[in-house]
Each structure stands twice: as C-alpha cells, then as structure tokens.
Amino acid sequence: MPYKFSFDLSRISKAFFRDLANIANQKGLHKKLGGQARHLAEKFRIHEITGLDVSDALVLVEDLVDIYVRNLSNAQSFQETKKRVLFLPHCARKYMDNRCKAHFDPKLPSYVCGHCSKDCLINNATHLAEKKGYKVFVLPGGSCIPEILKRDGYKGVIGVACSDELKMAGEYMQRLGSFGQAIPLTKNGCANTQFNLATLQKVMA
C-alpha cells in the first residue's frame, strides 16, 4: 500500500542517514528494530521537522531501517552481478510538463531522457549509470518491473523509489533471483520527488 502521507526529509541532518546505516550494521537488529527506529525518529525530531504524525514518522523510519538492512545483506551478491539495471521514478524529472524533452517508449517501457536540463536528477543519474554500463529505465510505475527483469534477465538491480514500494520490490526480486540495492526517495509525492545522487553513485561504484 502506498503511504497515505507525504514526506520531505531534505531538511533532516545527514547524520540521520549515517545513523541509519550504523543501525543496519548491528547484529541481532531484527529483535529490536522497533526500538531503534523509535530512538532514531526521536533523536532527529523527524515528526517535528517534517510535520508528520509521530506514528507516520515512525513507519517511515522503520521502513528506511528495513531497506538499509536488506541493502547490506544483498551488497556482496549485488557486487558479483554482471548484467545490471537502474530503475528511476519519472516523478523525479525536473519538469512534468512539455518542458521535459523525454519521450516515452512503450516497448521498453520507459521514458528516454532528452537531457534538456543539467540540474535534473534523472539526467544526472542516467549519465552516471550509463557510464558504468547500466541499462536505465525511467518508469511511470513499478508494475512492469517483474516483466522487465524476466524478459531481460538483469541480475543486479538498483531501484530508486518510495520506501514502501522498495520494501515490496525487495521481496519479489528475491523470488526472481536478482539482487537489489534500494535508494529511497528523500521526498515523495507525484512530482518533484528527490533522492540522493551521491548515495546512488556510491552504490554503483
């Protein structure tokens, strides 16, 4: 189920994401996941800064911890894959109207970036990924991902999406024998969504 709330973590300290990674590194985490997530949400005042309800902030942080834990457990297998793909969300395009020069190719299916804006996240992520040999898909939704993975046989998958979608994707990728690394959006919504390009670059390295 998609979140019923919107969030923007862009004003949260970078230390929050460092602490998330540290928590994911701890042994025996699953037993105390709820407590750790609560502690993190309180320490970084997530609900105050984002304006979320305390319970929504907690759900969000729990999902993020879950994603970081899964990334860590898949990291080695992901590094060993040869054929890789990057899935990006179309809502992170700089423009959502006809100023965006991407065209949609239904055969892929994907938007193909026209590289109209140097400061567009999709443009930058596409450049970085293609230089590293990734096939890039800019998707209007996640429902076609299982079909693409089956059709093209990608084994290493990086997905940029909202945390709730990433959690679901992690489960079916395991069933398909692919190994994923997930980059959660730092701002969700239908347009102008954001993710951390430096994190993506690090994961692709």
Q: Could you list the residues that contact ligand SF4 (CB under 6 A)?
A: 93-95, 100-102, 113-117, 120, 122-123
**Is the Cβ of residue 38 or residue 101 nearer to ligand SF4 in the bound state?**
101
Token representation of residue 76: 């080695």
Distance in Å, CB of 137 to ligand SF4, minimum? 13
Token representation of residue 8: 């923007």
CA distance 85 to 97: 26
Q: Which of 129, 128, 184 is CA-nearest to residue 154? A: 129
Distance in Å, CB of 169 to ligand SF4, minimum? 22
* Residue 153 near residue 83, CB atoms below 8 Å: yes
Distance in Å, CB of 90 to ligand SF4, minimum? 8
**Is the Cβ of residue 89 or residue 156 nearer to ligand SF4 in the bound state?**
89
Distance in Å, CB of 107 to ligand SF4, minimum? 19
**Is the Cβ of residue 38 or residue 115 nearer to ligand SF4 in the bound state?**
115
- CA-CA-CA-CA torsion sign (153, 93, 16, 4): negative
**Is the Cβ of residue 59 or residue 200 nearer to ligand SF4 in the bound state?**
200
**Is the Cβ of residue 4 or residue 118 nearer to ligand SF4 in the bound state?**
118
* Residue 90 CB partners (closer than 8 Å, separation 6+): 102, 111, 122, 138, 139, 140
Distance in Å, CB of 119 to ligand SF4, minimum? 9
